[in-house]
Chain A
């Protein structure tokens, strides 16, 4: 069925890429990812919104341990699968555009990662979720290690161990949940039916949340991220920031909110505050960063902080904002990193002090840059606005003062984005860059879909909102039924 196809086709494609040899690896890879995207779109077209879960597949696997191959897609899963399959061709195109040696290994690794990511987003079995979660870590580890910059060894090592540390707690919580089910199963339906006591819920909440908080990342578990994003090759950073961090957010949506609702109500405030502190903290740091890649890494932390705050806002606007902003952030941040890749290729540096005046030599690049920049600071009519606005509505309903602090991001965002844009693009032309050329056709072929996505989802966010509305309502229902009085 289509879910199994979506998960395993990239694995097959990875093999084909390997067999195709260096010359055709890129073509096979990009064609495969585009084909995968069409599979996802067809799943979207045929989606039956009357049913919560569509395209379910259930095969017993390790029956004695209650582990089954149980996958399916509801609105949220499908939205994330669409994001993944949309971004992968762009990421592969970036790799082609850049100068990744031994490209076929990269394409194969990226395809394996796509399979693992889709697996995470579609698992309905908790153990299967864990398997795919860990599986996704392996290709990115190799990508960062093989093609990173000179700091890659200690940085990737720290990233790997830090993530694994969180996953350890997640594994403990998973097994604990399994033992609590009367049917001794990892299946989603049984885990949702659990009603645990307050202390049990607190333990499960923090164990799972720690893993997801490290993945997103949320302050103060974020220190692995700037170094890793900076040292990884740009397609690797796109994979990390565009899709992988959404795994953490998705994990909270799928496996924390419906499973331990009273813990969410009890501890959600703390999580929101950490997230909001992260927003302001990361934004302030971004202002004075000199390496543009590190700057965008901190920007990513700020954006994810807002999404994480929305997760615990206990409102439908907030949660719908989470979904929308996940998609918007994925598209926008990949767009930004693609522009970074172009700048790096043309000028050989990402240090703000060395760049300048590029608009003179590359006006079209400047235009695309400004559009994507405006989308990431949530200009209305762009995809960033719809998501951010809904998030603010949700967070404001939860606590207006926290929303006020979180709102500083709209000021600080303008500061660091416009300052860095000015340092890179504006001013007198620098003589050392006089020979660089403007966008090539290939680069435009990547940027144009991104810009189209920015405006389509900015003007018609209901395409996604209608898709995810039933699932969000279901999740919200399970959180709210723990409240003593209806809100």
Chain B
């Protein structure tokens, strides 16, 4: 059964790696989704393992939050693109010393 855990960890790490090192904002959003889904998978696994439905219920919460978050995020992304003409995160450095 630990294979599931390993799978989720790999997925989570891939997602984290993507957030930290990719320059394209869309790709960062996709990586965030990947991390969220990895956690979802883990929750389902443990809910089946402990025969506790509350894990799967929580998955729904996460999916709703993910949807809301990605909506706002993409809206902001569109506005950034209109402003800067690019969606590379390197252009967003104004909040510095």
- Indicate whether A and B are direct neighbours in the complex (CB within 8 Å): no
Which residues of B line the A interface, CB within 8 A? none
